Amino acid sequence: MITARPFRALHYDGSVVDMDTVLAPPYDVIDDEERDQLYARSDYNAVRLILSREADRYAAAGRDLAQWRRDGVLVRDARPSFYYYAQEFSMPDGSRRERFGILASVRLEAFSAGNIMPHERTFPKAKADRLKIMEACKANLSPIFGIYPTAGAEVAEVSARTRGGAAWIDAGDNRGGRHRVWRIDDPASIAAVQRGFADSVVFIADGHHRYETALEYRDRRRAAGGGEDEAFNYLLMYLCPMQESGLVILPTHRVWRGGGGTAAGWEQKLATAFSIERLDVADAEALRTRLEAERDRGVLGLRLRGQRGALLLRPRDWSQIERELSGLAAPLRELDVTVLDAYVFGKLLGIDYLRDTEAGVVAYTHEDDKAFAAVESGDAEAVFLLRATRIEEVQKVCLAGEVMPQKSTYFHPKLQTGLVFHLLDEAGAGADAGR
């Protein structure tokens, strides 16, 4: 079970700022150009908190958050609430979808408790950065993205009833998304949501680094004398049903920058384990279409610099791959991303992709066109295109107590920062729990 509770959100005052100008994507998908664009949108854009361009960005974030509160730009809700969040977005093919979930204050737990579970491994570098932001602001600025397989029927009933009314926030973002938020603040609905989640488990879809950072922050505050019911024992989480039709996973492709023609002999090595079909495709979309049509396990797409078209790789003998990956749990061996990272990189090509990721030799993108463009421009020697991991594969791995390789999934789109903030420096849980 998870402990979800309402909280008094810190949020922008819509009469002081234009909500269309203050939202921002999470810090880890913002490059320097987009950060400058977000800075220009508003003096109060949330990017100034999560990815400040000041020399000491942590001190700047803490200073700005405090100043915005003093100036009334940010205000605190009078009553504890859950917040129902609808996110409308564009798919890569231009179609529009909408995803729904509830923003809640969720009690932190170690993964070993089995109630909140990761689905992929993390890189340590990002956690140190986010801890400094948390210490400076004493707040969760961006929600963790959680998905749950089941919850009580009351959660769905409250959700449907809530979105039938007028939204409290209705704002756009810099990427063409629309974000609507409703308060759930009546005692009966709050109690129904809490009961509904009481027997649920949650898988982290996005925000693993920030969740682990929150655990570290909690432990530091407890060691300094903080109690187990204070606000820092909880974090801001978006809870989305696994059956939600707007829940989208995109693949995360591997871009090999290499150097000195290191990919030159790859085709020969790959041919020992894969049948290779040459495709006369002009773009990444055509290769992805072919990939998605395949039904066998471990099928990969490959584009090499200096070659026309692309290659479709099909395992010659699946039992051979299984033997090579016998040290991994069965749900992991089934994944295309495991075949690529552990078998192709690790066994056939002799590449330590984790080390090379830290060194910038391996890069990641969920955009097919960007992957191809990196090869065509000479910025990369090769790119492997993957099919998207399916949601049932994520569930299978999590329930087996395993985690996928880093960058196995890309839940699209990312949640926006700036709709509500979750304060961590409260006198006690009672202040936010409405008891």
pLDDT value, residue 186: 97
Q: In 3-state terms, what secondary structure has residue 396?
A: helix
240 and 259 co-located in one domain: no
Poorest-confidence range of 177-181, 232-236, 280-284, 400-404? 280-284
Distance (Å, rounded) from C-alpha 167 to C-alpha 203? 27
Of 207-221, 391-405, 414-428, the range with the lowest mean pLDDT is 414-428
Tell me what the mean pLDDT of segment 291-309 comes to: 93
Does 269 lie in the same domain as 380? Answer: yes
Q: Who contacts 196 (Cβ-Cβ below 8 Å, separation ≥6)?
A: 151, 152, 153, 154, 155, 158
- Residue 231: what pLDDT? 96
Place of tokens 């879809």: 205
- How many angstroms separate the CA atoms of 253 and 365, rounded? 5
Q: Give a yes or no: residue 398 inside a domain.
A: no
Dihedral angle, C-alpha 317, 319, 321, 327, nearest 10 ° = 180
Contact predicate 142/209, CB 8 Å: no
Using 50, 70 and 90 to split pLDDT, how confident is the model at 213? very high
Residue-level pLDDT at 125: 67
- Nearest residue to 116 via CA among 417, 398, 421, 413: 398
Q: How confident is the model at residue 435 (pLDDT cuts 50, 70, 90)?
A: very low
Please compute the mean of the pLDDT values over residues 77-104 and round it to a whole number: 96
Pairwise CA distance, residues 246 & 99, whole Å: 4
Mean of all residue pLDDT scores within the chain: 93
> Does residue 54 form part of some domain?
yes
Asked, for residue 329, whether it belongs to a domain, the answer is yes
Calculate what percentage of the chain has a pLDDT beyond 70. Answer: 97
Q: Is 33 left (phi over 0), alpha (psi -120 to 50) or beta?
A: alpha
Q: Is 259 in the same domain as 176?
A: no
My answer on whether 118 and 226 are in the same domain is yes
pLDDT of 426 reads 63
228 and 310 fall within a common domain:
no
Please determine, for residue 162, whether its predicted confidence score (pLDDT) is greater than 90: yes
Give the mean pLDDT of 168-179: 97
Q: Quick check: bond before 124 cis, omega within 30?
A: no
Mean pLDDT of 85-93: 95
**Predicted local confidence at residue 124, as pLDDT:** 66
pLDDT range class, residue 433, cuts 50, 70, 90: very low
**Do 197 and 296 sit in the same domain of this protein?**
no
Q: In the prediction, which pLDDT does 388 show?
A: 94
Residue 407 lies in a domain: no
Q: Establish if 188 belongs to a structural domain.
A: yes
pLDDT in the model for residue 212: 94
- When pLDDT is cut at 50, 70 and 90, the band that residue 284 belongs to is confident
Max intra-chain CA distance, the chain: 67
Q: Name the more confident of 340 and 92.
A: 340
Question: Pick the residue with more confidence: 424 or 352?
Answer: 424
Same domain (yes/no): 61, 156:
yes
Mean pLDDT of 314-333: 95
Mean pLDDT on 283-305: 92
pLDDT reported for residue 128 = 87
Domain count, the chain: 2
Kindly tell me if the per-residue pLDDT of 237 is higher than 60: yes
3-state secondary structure of 322: helix
Tell me what pLDDT residue 259 has: 74
Kindly tell me if the per-residue pLDDT of 49 is higher than 60.
Answer: yes
Position 402 in a domain: no
One domain, residues 34 and 182: yes
- Residues 167, 147: Cα–Cα separation, whole Å: 23
pLDDT band of residue 430 (cuts 50, 70, 90) is: very low
Q: Which of 114, 131, 115, 112 is CA-nearest to residue 209?
A: 131
Kindly state whether residues 376 and 418 are assigned to the same domain: no
Q: What is the mean pLDDT of residues 93-107?
A: 96
Would you say residue 431 has pLDDT above 60? no
Same domain, 177 and 261: no
Question: In this structure, is residue 111 part of a structural domain?
Answer: yes
- pLDDT over threshold 60, residue 192: yes
Q: Is 362 found in the same domain as 318?
A: yes
Residue 197: partners with Cβ closer than 8 Å, 6 or more residues away: 1, 2, 4, 104, 148, 151, 152, 155, 239
Quick check: 434 pLDDT over 60? no
207 and 352 together in one domain:
no
Question: Which structural domain, as residue segments, surrounds residue 232?
Answer: 4-248+412-433
User: Is 400 within the bounds of a domain?
Assistant: no
DSSP code for 83? E
What's the confidence (pLDDT) of residue 355? Answer: 85
Mean pLDDT of 164-193: 97
418: left (phi over 0), alpha (psi -120 to 50) or beta: left
CA gap 304, 410 in Å, rounded: 24
pLDDT at 427 over 80: no
